[in-house]
């Protein structure tokens, strides 16, 4: 393998691994929180449980950034966050 293909491989890997605002621990905590709530409540197609978790765990200034991040991963509502988000963390 020549140098060029090594570099391309490294770039590919970097692109695959996206940076998230939440650490794996925080993401696990968020997903667990939503999962528990959705056992007793149906998803209202909004982020109400995500918001609750944010209020308890994240600095207010970061809430919108985290919600943007979730929507970028197709987490458009609480149940979608559970299904679609942070898959690369393999939680
Ligand atoms: Zn939903």
The structural domains of the chain, with segments of one domain joined by +, span: 23-89
Quote the pTM value.
0.79
For 13-71, the pLDDT digits (tens) are 555 556 899 999 999 999 999 999 999 999 999 999 999 999 999 999 999 999 999 99
What pLDDT was estimated at residue 90? Answer: 81
Find the Cα–Cα–Cα–Cα dihedral 38, 43, 47, 50, rounded to 10°: 0
8-state DSSP, 20: -
Q: Is 43 helix (H, G, I), strand (E, B) or coil?
A: coil
Dmax (CA) of the chain:
56
What pLDDT was estimated at residue 9? Answer: 59
Residue 8 has pLDDT above 70, yes or no: no
Q: How far is the CA of 46 from the centre of ligand 1 (A)?
A: 7
83 vs 11: which has the higher pLDDT: 83
Q: How far is the CA of 23 from the centre of ligand 1 (A)?
A: 23
Q: How far is the CA of 78 from the centre of ligand 1 (A)?
A: 5
Q: How far is the CA of 38 from the centre of ligand 1 (A)?
A: 9
What pLDDT was estimated at residue 68? Answer: 97
Residue 81 has pLDDT above 90, yes or no: yes
What pLDDT was estimated at residue 11? Answer: 56
């Amino acid at each position: 393998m020549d140098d060029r293909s090594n570099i391309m491989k490294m770039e590919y890997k970097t692109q695959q691994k996206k940076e998230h605002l939440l650490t794996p621990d925080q993401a696990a905590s968020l997903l667990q929180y939503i999962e528990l709530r959705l056992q007793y409540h149906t998803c209202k197609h909004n982020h109400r449980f995500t918001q609750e978790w944010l209020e308890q765990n994240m600095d207010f200034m970061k809430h919108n950034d985290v919600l943007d991040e979730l929507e970028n991963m197709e987490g458009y509502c609480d149940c979608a966050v559970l299904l679609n988000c942070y898959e690369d963390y393999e939680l």
